[in-house]
Amino acid sequence: MNLFKQQPTFITVLNNDVLFFVELNPEKQYKILESIPLNLFLGDTISMKKAKDAYQLAGNLRDKENKLLIIPSYWISNTSYQFQSSKASLIETFIERKLHSEHSSLPDLPKFFKYNAYQSEKEGKMLHVSYYQDPSFFKLYYKLSELGLTPHKITSGPFLCEHEIKNKISDFNNGGKGIIHFSEQSCYLFFYSQGNFLFERDILLPDQESAPEERARTLTYEINQSLYLFSQKTKSDLNEFYFMSSSKEDISATTESIVVNINNMSDLMLEQEHVDRDLAQLLGSLSFFKFKDFHTSTQLPHIPHLKRTREMMWKPVQRAGLAIGIFLLCLIFIEGAYIWNQTNQLNNRVKKSRAMESNEKIEQYNEAIDLLLQDLKRKSPAQIISGIINSLPDQYQPKEIYLDLEQNPSFTFSSTVLIDDIDSFRSSLSDFVSKTNKYLPLKKEMGIQDIEFKKDSTSNNLNENYSIQLKAEFK
């Protein structure tokens, strides 16, 4: 499936009091999907036996987007107002108020209008206002809206014809201009002042081949009548006509019958790619349209529904706002998820840190308790010295006692032993070892072999003295 394929265009056309629902595809082929008399569609008739039900018709056209509604030009009217301000808001408010006061019987009329500002030599700044003046228009519009077929744009043949000519003629907005457009058996006359549409005349003409003279007389009479009406409306004369026809006989007959300057624009009509000829004959003013004019991408001249136009203008802004809102919401969601994740990680780290701090404190408490218990178990230096002194025999004269009670509790002891003979020395050593094991909390029981001894320098003939030294660890 081609996603970029152009979709058919769906439009609605009112011609000769019959409403046509037409589909045009990109290959320039058309198809009339439905048709119904206007009075039956609006429900303005008593007999509905042969009429199509409007709601059933709407069901057949479900999911169609009504791009365009083409109406007869006689449903359109126009007027001019003198107004000095150029602010759009003031202009629209002024026009709404004027139309409401002038057409109080049609309360919906001020909702549909378009205006063009122009300069008048006599009256200064002016506003030319076009609006729908036929009550049937409002019934048709709201009926289509009720059935879900609200048209995006509403226009008529004169606006399209004006649009085509303005693209070719630079001075179209200067003075009075007229357009003569021929079809097979009809002639359409459009009249403009200062580039603004004034009125249209649809003329049914005799056949060119069977009654050429009568055709020329009819055309001449209608054109002269229209020129008189134009001069009454504008208080000025028409400057020139623009002529469009595929028939050379129509061109020559028209040129001979009127005195106004005529510009032949038939080449423009022939060059343009118009809608199918049979469809144009069936639907009337469709012959003025080029195929591209049916697409809303072109700047199609039309009289808008002001409220709907504002809504349509705001739709891109709303879509952009919605897209930005969704984008920001996604950012907020992502940021929220990120913050939530970071918060969880931080909480986990805090919990771990608190757990580690608790464990460290518990370990510190345990260490402190162990130290306290060790200190409680450990004997004081006074007790140890007292135990050493209690262990000493009478012959012992201590020289040095060194206590180490920190990492590896121990003591070092040295003394001079005053004895008479060697037997007394041995006996004193045994007594000292026995008492030391008794009064001191030694890590292991001490024996005589743990004592170092040697003769002391204080020995003499009467006494044989010895020096002893030992080192022992506490529990």
Tokens 């004592």 map to which residue? Answer: 451
- Exposed e or buried b per residue across 339-363, where buried means at least 16 C-beta atoms within 10 angstroms of its C-beta: eeeeeeeeeeeeeeeeeeeeeeeee
- CATH code assigned at 443: 3.30.980
Instruction: Tell whether 119 and 29 lie within a shared domain.
Output: yes
- 65 phi, psi to nearest 5 deg: -105, 110
Give me the pLDDT at residue 94, please.
93
d(CA 228, CA 287): 27
Q: Is residue 278 part of a domain?
A: no
Instruction: Tell whether 227 and 144 lie within a shared domain.
Output: no
Q: Is residue 72 part of a domain?
A: yes
Give me the pLDDT at residue 287, please.
57
Instruction: Tell whether 19 and 151 lie within a shared domain.
Output: yes
- CATH code assigned at 207: 3.30.420.40
Residue 357 to residues 264, 347, 349, 368, 383, Cα–Cα distance (Å): 101, 15, 12, 16, 39
Give me the pLDDT at residue 49, please.
43
Two tokens at 101? 């006061």
Instruction: Tell whether 368 and 439 lie within a shared domain.
Output: no
- pTM value? 0.61
Give me the pLDDT at residue 29, please.
67
Give me the pLDDT at residue 136, please.
92
d(CA 419, CA 324): 110
Instruction: Tell whether 101 and 117 lie within a shared domain.
Output: yes
Give bridge partners of residue 15 from the DSSP assignment: 18
Greatest alpha-carbon span in the chain = 185
**CA torsion angle 173 177 180 181 (round to 10):** 10
> Would you call 34 helix, strand, or coil by DSSP?
strand
Instruction: Tell whether 15 and 136 lie within a shared domain.
Output: yes
Two tokens at 153? 């744009």
Q: Is residue 271 part of a domain?
A: no
Give me the pLDDT at residue 267, please.
67
Instruction: Tell whether 136 and 3 lie within a shared domain.
Output: yes
- Exposed e or buried b per residue across 88-108, where buried means at least 16 C-beta atoms within 10 angstroms of its C-beta: eeebeebbeebbeeeeeebee
Give me the pLDDT at residue 469, please.
87
Q: Is residue 391 part of a domain?
A: yes
Instruction: Tell whether 94 and 70 lie within a shared domain.
Output: yes
Among 250, 277, 304, the domain boundary falls at 304
Q: Which stretches in the chain have pLDDT values below 50?
A: 1, 3, 46-51, 270-273, 296-297
Q: Is residue 277 part of a domain?
A: no
Instruction: Tell whether 452 and 329 lie within a shared domain.
Output: no
Task: Indicate if the alpha-carbon torsion angle 385, 391, 393, 395 is positive or negative.
Answer: negative
The candidate with the shortest Cα–Cα distance to 450, out of 412, 409, 397, is: 412
Among 321, 353, 377, the domain boundary falls at 377
Tokens 């002639």 map to which residue? Answer: 187
d(CA 305, CA 348): 63
Give me the pLDDT at residue 137, please.
93
The burial of 190, by beta-carbon neighbours within 10 Å (0-12 exposed, 13-18 middle, 19 or more buried), is given as: buried
- Between strands 9-15 and 66-70, the pairing is parallel
- 151 phi, psi to nearest 5 deg: -75, 140
Question: DSSP strand E in 304-445: where?
Answer: 396-404, 410-417
- CATH code assigned at 86: 3.30.420
Instruction: Tell whether 203 and 142 lie within a shared domain.
Output: no
Q: Is residue 280 part of a domain?
A: no
> Would you call 177 helix, strand, or coil by DSSP?
strand
The H or E element spanning position 250 is helix 248-257
Q: Is the Cβ–Cβ distance between 306 and 113 less than 8 Å?
A: yes
DSSP 424-441: HHHHHHHHHHHHHHHHS-
Give me the pLDDT at residue 98, please.
92
Among 232, 248, 264, the domain boundary falls at 264
Q: Is residue 161 part of a domain?
A: no
Question: DSSP strand E in 351-421: where?
Answer: 396-404, 410-417
Instruction: Tell whether 300 and 326 lie within a shared domain.
Output: no
Q: Is the Cβ–Cβ distance between 67 and 153 less than 8 Å?
A: yes
| 129-155 per-position pLDDT tens digit | 999 999 999 999 998 888 888 888 888
What's the Rg (C-alpha) of the chain?
59
Its domain, for residue 433, covers: 381-473
Q: Is residue 259 part of a domain?
A: yes
Counting the structural domains of the chain, the total is 4
Instruction: Tell whether 457 and 442 lie within a shared domain.
Output: yes
